[in-house]
Amino acid sequence: MSNLFMRHTEAGSREAVSSRIIMHVDLDAFFAAVEEREHPEYRGRPVVVGADPKEGRGRGVVSTCNYEARRFGIRSAMPISRAWRLCKDAIFLPVNHELYQKVSSSIIMILRSYADKLEQVGIDEAFLDVSKRAKDFTGAGELAKAIKRKIAEKERLTCSVGIGPNKLVAKIASDYHKPDGLTIVEEKDVKAFLAPLPVEKLWGVGRKTKVRLNAMGICTIGDLASYHNAKLRDEFGAFGVEFHRMAHGIDNSEVVEEWTPKSFSREHTFEEDTGDQNLIYTTADRLFEEVERDVERNGFTFQTLTVKIRYEDFETHTRSRTLQSPAAKPNALKEVLHELVSPFLESGRKVRLVGVSASSLSMKAGQKTLI
Ligand code: TTP
Ligand code: MG
């Protein structure tokens, strides 16, 4: 297959564009799989990585769990107490970030050796542009099998791979068959592949957008693709137009070599809901110091500071401030932090969780390191 094909542009003219072959690789049950690898005696048993369940009294959340635990209905981000009730016999483990980070770096290095261009998008996933490496989609499938073999051999882990003509399709394809999947969607099959999938599989369609789309009678990506473009624009503005393009499987975004994390954040769930303002401020200070250290260590500066508060009834709010210059002094930043926290405490409501995040990151001058 030639890597050149003719595309009809929106203006109706024809232009030659080079077709791309993009791969998305996502590790299966990443944190839990690493733990299983380190402790072969856990194999075959449900494993949950996250906060301490404290026999059902634990107040944090599940980071992830293996597929055995998923059979009990346990999922990422679920309260750990609920996970415990769903499967008391599961093996509950704390998050060992340092270890997962090490494994992640080694996997990214393996992936890099198979790609023309690689974009890491999270701790356990990456996009690979393999247009030059693979002659066609069949060749890309062989490449994916070689990658899977290499990861199994070197890191004793499995991953799921999606291959498509762009990042959007590749990402949806890698999620299509998990764990240990390989899904190849050629350009000619894109619309048929996407059509039956629920709309929330598309980028940017979160829970609220899904509800609005469903209310308009749009449940599948196929429904969205055949919906009036103009009506979508009326309802969602520029996003509506983008949704329509995505529903047709169009995505021209490049695989960008240098991935920059969007933010660094930390949060803390109190042992007991608290109205103790002193405790809330000192916890926010500690989280802020940890976040600042992460930002610094990874060679970034940040400009936006966000505080998250969850009240005892789970109502959650955030408040942000964008600073004029990124290099403010730590003490001045703490003042900003306290100004962000204080309005949340005025009502006297008890607080369950406090979180701090730093975003609008830029690379420090002269630095070229990535996580
Ligand atoms: P994911 O790739 O979303 O999940 P996963 O690898 O555990 O499982 P899957 O087989 O479905 O891909 O996330 C990668 C890691 O990021 C995950 O192992 C743990 C962490 N994580 C959290 O800490 N909290 C979360 O809410 C999610 C979704 C992930
Ligand atoms: Mg994963």
Q: Is there an atom of ligand 1 within 6 Å of 26 CB? A: yes
DSSP secondary structure string for all residues of 240-253: HHHHHHHHTT----
Residue 324 pLDDT level (bands cut at 50, 70, 90): confident
Q: Is there an atom of ligand 1 within 6 Å of 63 CB? A: yes
What is the distance between the alpha carbons of residues 250 and 167, in angstroms, rounded to a whole number? Answer: 10
* Mean of pLDDT values over 77-90: 96
* Mean of pLDDT values over 83-93: 98
Q: Do domains 31-97 and 195-247 have the same CATH topology?
A: no
What is the distance between the alpha carbons of residues 61 and 94, in angstroms, rounded to a whole number? Answer: 11
Nearest CA to ligand 1 atom 10: 28
What is the distance between the alpha carbons of residues 262 and 74, in angstroms, rounded to a whole number? Answer: 27
Indicate if the pLDDT at residue 125 is higher than 50: yes
> Can you tell me which atom of ligand 1 is nearest the CA of 28?
10
Please state the pTM of the whole predicted model: 0.77
Nearest CA to ligand 1 atom 24: 63
Average pLDDT, the chain: 90
CA of 29 to the centre of ligand 2 (A): 5
Indicate if the pLDDT at residue 102 is higher than 50: yes
Domain boundaries of the chain, sorted by first residue: 31-97, 195-247, 263-363
Hey, which residues are catalytic here?
Answer: 125
Q: Residue 111: which of 98, 100, 127, 133 has the closest Cα?
A: 127
Which top CATH class is 263-363? alpha beta
Q: Is there an atom of ligand 1 within 6 Å of 27 CB? A: yes
Indicate if the pLDDT at residue 134 is higher than 90: yes
Residues 219-255 have pLDDT tens digits of 999 999 999 999 999 999 989 999 999 999 999 999 9
pLDDT, position 192? 97
Q: Is there an atom of ligand 1 within 6 Å of 36 CB? A: no
Kindly list the distances between the CA atom of residue 262 and the CA atoms of 44, 301, 324, 371, in Å, as whole numbers in the listed order: 36, 12, 18, 12
CATH H superfamily, domain 195-247: 5' to 3' exonuclease, C-terminal subdomain (1.10.150.20)
Residues 169-189 have pLDDT tens digits of 999 999 999 999 999 999 999
CATH number for the 31-97 domain, one of 3.30.1490.20, 3.20.20.140, 3.30.930.10, 3.40.1170.60? 3.40.1170.60
Q: Which of 76, 177, 266, 269 to mutate to test the pocket of ligand 1 (most atoms within 8 A of CB)?
A: 76
